[in-house]
Amino acid sequence: MFELIAEEDGARRGRLTTAHGPIDTPAFMPVGTQATVKALTPDEVRALGAQVLLGNTYHLALRPGAERIARLGGLHRFMGWDGAILTDSGGFQVFSLDHLVSVSDDGATFRSHLDGSEQRFTPESVMGIQRELGSDIAMAFDQPVGWPTASAPAAEAMERTHRWATRCLETEAAAGQLRFGIVQGGFDDDLRRQSAEVLGRLPFDGFGVGGLSLGEPKEVTYRLLSVQTAILPVDRPRYLMGVGTPADLIEAIARGIDMFDCVLPTRIARNGSVLTQGGRINLRNRRYIEDLGPPDAGCDCYTCQRFSRAYLRHLFMAGEILGHRLASIHNLRMLVRLVEDLRSEIGGGKLAGVVRALREQWSLAPLP
């Protein structure tokens, strides 16, 4: 059940109730693709303020296998996380294999990236995998397209996504499991409107906005996002899939998005980069060799309270895994806290000023 608590200037504050606890929205979901948020324990992730994690159907189905996870007590027990879990359907991963995948109305046949074995995903099998995993939120199987894609192939993929969505709803869910449809439409305004209208009439518990931030200019991303949030039902949550830079979070929340996930905070952490309110910095840079300041002076995370840029630089230059962990803690906390701060302001009558201040704080230019 989704409760809409407040709205202001297009932004929304709400609460989504799941079988493993409530999710206050807007919410940022750390990505645990293979049943782990890379380098961090569940307790550490919880301490950062995360309420819900993301797992991936494609990766978990290939290794260790959904049936095995089910025998071991389900995904929550398997990974030691007692909060909510959303599982992505794996549609993006399947179709990113490009020349290794063939698609028909029945489903998609592809080659495993692990061993090259032939695999088959259908709407029914994908929902069955998520049923065995026992996630709190299961995403429908969809067919995204990349940038640039002409309107005709984008329309074909969108219509197939709509047919698959109906089949996903007809498949049995796990007890208490919510199901989200995914709107598509490529990069065409009319197709995006059509997808939001068609899927919005189906009895999903929420909706993912898929197929954006795949190489298109940001002004296109935000324009198409606005097109669909204006149409999707107001009484159900909206989830912008795979998008999560500070700019993305600020602009998408202002356009009515409730949930986000992105690998960016842990991915750039492994490369020595951290998010600061002035932008991203690379701690491997020599300029930080004797910098005693924290990664970000305004951050309340464990890393910033205990360690300097100089120390983190040393860890990265020495190849120490602690560097990856500390940078991941910081980056995740920065995004979780950014969303928390925006959430707390929605409904207070001052959101427009807060958004302007955040754009300035994060050195962002407003986009249409």
**Which sequence positions are flagged as catalytic?**
88, 261
Asked if 226 and 258 count as a contact pair (C-beta separation under 8 A), the reply is no
Strands, E, within 26-163: which ranges? 27-29, 52-56, 84-88, 101-103, 108-111, 118-121, 137-139
Rg of the chain taking only CA atoms, in angstroms = 20
* Cβ 142 vs Cβ 182: under 8 Å: yes
Locate the DSSP E strands across the chain. 2-8, 11-18, 21-25, 27-29, 52-56, 84-88, 101-103, 108-111, 118-121, 137-139, 178-183, 206-209, 238-240, 259-261, 273-276, 279-282
Angstrom CA distances, 144 to 99, 104, 171, 193, 206, stand at 15, 14, 21, 16, 18
Exposed / middle / buried, residue 169 (Cβ in 10 Å: 0-12, 13-18, 19+)? middle
- Cα angle for residues 284, 48, 212 (degrees, 5° grid): 75
Tokens 């986009």, residue located: 367
Instruction: Tell me the C-alpha to C-alpha distance, in Å, between residue 104 and each of 27, 154, 181, 288, 363.
Output: 35, 15, 19, 53, 45
